[in-house]
Structure 1
Amino acid sequence: MCSRRYFLKSSASVALGALFLPVLSEAARNTIKVNNVGIQLYTVRKAMLNDAAGTLKQLAQIGYKELESARSEKGLYYGLQPKEIKNIAEDLGMTLRSGHVHIDNDWERTVAAAAETGQDYLICSTLPSQGQTVANYQHCADTFSKAAEDCKKAGVMFGYHNHDYEFEKETGQVLYDVLLDRTDPEMVKMEMDLGWVILTGNDPVTYFEKYPGRFPLWHLKDMDKDKLQSTEFGKGAINITRMLQNADKSKMKYFFVEQEEYTGTAMNSVKYNFNYLKKLHM
């Protein structure tokens, strides 16, 4: 697999320039109302490992409603049991909707745990086998199809979360498109990380139109195109408002705020991002 920075720096600067739209003025923002804001818990990963229940309480106090977990050194739910995180979230007025996992030797237990939490989606966060070739992506697509069958039996929807390297090409084929074209759109959904898609010079809206209904989940983030890393909303180069205005084209059901790097503390960043979104209104 190529490095993220190598691939991004080798992407076409013209395409990137067309997609890094300026943030809209305050007046132009007054076209959208954002409710049920979700968060990918990887954003507050250290806090979750130190005190999962306390961190969830802080997120609830800020106003976050939807949760997506991420596999950690303490397991799928930061040391909490499946029913435990479900109950804590519900008591706080939140819902665990999704979780990032790997397809590995623990897959059967992973699916069972997801079913126990009552979450809607189980998202593979990394390719199950490595290789930037069409053949490997075809193999991964077939693995996803089998995983989706397992999830369906458990009452959970399977999906895959992209990075940047999936948008490389081999023999003229975009590798990400191989995953989309080779899997059943009713069985294998995609969680689109909008930031990484745009950094590669691609437009998420083009994918929403070409593959309708495939992107029910989003990672919503702003990106510093010079540092090639995430930042707080409105401080980077991605037009958050434009993305939200195209939610219907995506058939988006849930979005999760994600920020991987911070200028201060993670909790200050998630507060800032939540307040930014709540200022967007009809």
Structure 2
Amino acid sequence: MNSRREFLLRSGALAVGTALMPSFTFAGGKKLKGTSNIGVQLYTFRKAMGEDAVGTLKKIAALGIKEIESAGSNKGYYYGLKPKEMQQVCKDLGMTLRSGHIALNDKWEQTLDDAAEAGQEYLICSSMPSKGQSVDNYKKVAASFNKAGEESKKRGIKFGYHNHDYEFESDNGHVLYDVLMDNTQADLVHMELDLGWVVASGNDPMVYFAKYPGRFPLWHLKDMDMAKHESTEFGKGGLDIVDILKHQKESGLKYYFVEQEEYTNDPWDSMKENIAYLKRI
């Protein structure tokens, strides 16, 4: 694990390898997947979505993006649009409103109603609903996640959780993210693995794919500048994107969403660069 971790953290090595290898295959001759149905987490375009949701979605569609994951905003989870309206705008632009980041709070029933109206497949809790970096708290959260998963399943929606780096801290020798994984039901809680934060925490996503096969149907595909501890354009950080994309089967991957929270210039230039990178590999 240590040697792989060191490899993952070596910025720049991937870009050289990519230039030398224009295409990749899985065992058995299958081509590397990952460029046909590119998704985006709308937090990447948070300012533009807040100012003009429909116009911004049009610009996103023009980039060739097909899958959309929404995020919270000061205008709500649908940026001032009605849930059904948000779904229809995406559909008219050739995109699918696949998932949405939400909070598990006292507005949960309304969140479920809205997601059902929007036709979303996934609802993803974006951060821990109760604070406390302890085994006891993570077990309590796991129980609440199982309950939310049951309630979502009745509506035909899949519930899940999105990690950061702090979930990989330990309490009394137990990795807290592992506590969460061990105490949630696989058929009720569908994990969205933020690959950038996993690597930034000093861990290896492939270790988690092996330990919990099929538990990660969603990814946030995010490269990380390890020195600054912030996201960056693909190929400029510490995530081995080519290797990650070869492990989709072990992960159980269904969809991935590109997310970039910080940019070299602006989110549009960064996303164009990321899409060009994915097409290159």
How many residue pairs end up in the alignment?
Answer: 269
SS at match of 2:97: strand
Displacement of 1:236 in angstroms is: 1.4
Deviation at 1:25, TM superposition (A): 3.1
Q: In the aligned structure 2, how far is the partner of 1:189 from the partner of 1:91?
A: 28
The answer as to whether partners of 1:129 and 1:136 remain within 8 angstroms in 2 is yes
Structure 1 residue 18: Cα displacement: 4.0
Matches of 1:204 and 1:29, distance apart in 2: 24
Q: Structure 1 vs Structure 2: percent identity of aligned residues?
A: 55
Aligned twin of 1:4: none
Cα contact 1:137–1:179 (8 A) shared by 2: yes
Counterpart selection for 1:19 from 4, 8, 13 = 8
Look up the match of 2:194. Answer: 193
In angstroms, what is the RMSD of aligned CA positions?
1.5
Aligned residue for 1:105, secondary structure, equals coil
What one-letter code is carried by the residue in structure 1 that aligns with 2:241? I
**What pairs up with 1:82-101 in 2 under 5 angstroms?**
82-101=83-102
CA distance in 1, matches of 2:3, 2:201: 11
Query: Is the CA contact 2:214–2:249 (under 8 Å) kept in the aligned structure 1?
Result: no
1:90 deviation in Å? 0.3
Q: Cα deviations across residues 15-34 of structure 1 (Å, max 9, x unaligned)?
A: 74243253023232411342
The match for 2:36 is 35
Q: Higher relative contact order at CA 8 Å, sep ≥6: structure 1 or structure 2?
A: 1
Map of 1:32-181 to 2, 5 A cutoff? 32-33=32-33, 34-181=35-182
State the SS of the aligned residue for 2:112: helix
CA contact (8 A) 1:15 1:201 kept: no
Structure 1 residue 228 and structure 2 residue 229: aligned? Answer: yes
Question: In the superposition, relative to structure 1, how do residues 100 and 172 fare at CA in structure 2: closer, same or farther (>3 Å)?
Answer: same
Secondary structure of 2:190's counterpart equals strand
Residue 197 of structure 1 and its aligned partner are, at CA, apart by: 0.3
Q: CA deviation at 1:13?
A: 9.1
CA distance in structure 1 between the aligned counterparts of 2:211 and 2:236, rounded to whole angstroms: 30
Give 4+ residue runs of structure 1 displaced > 3 Å after superposition: 12-16
Is the 2:44–2:261 Cα contact (8 Å) retained in structure 1?
A: yes
TM-score with structure 1 length normalisation?
A: 0.92
* Structure 2 counterpart of 1:5: none
* Deviation at residue 85 of structure 1 after TM alignment: 0.6
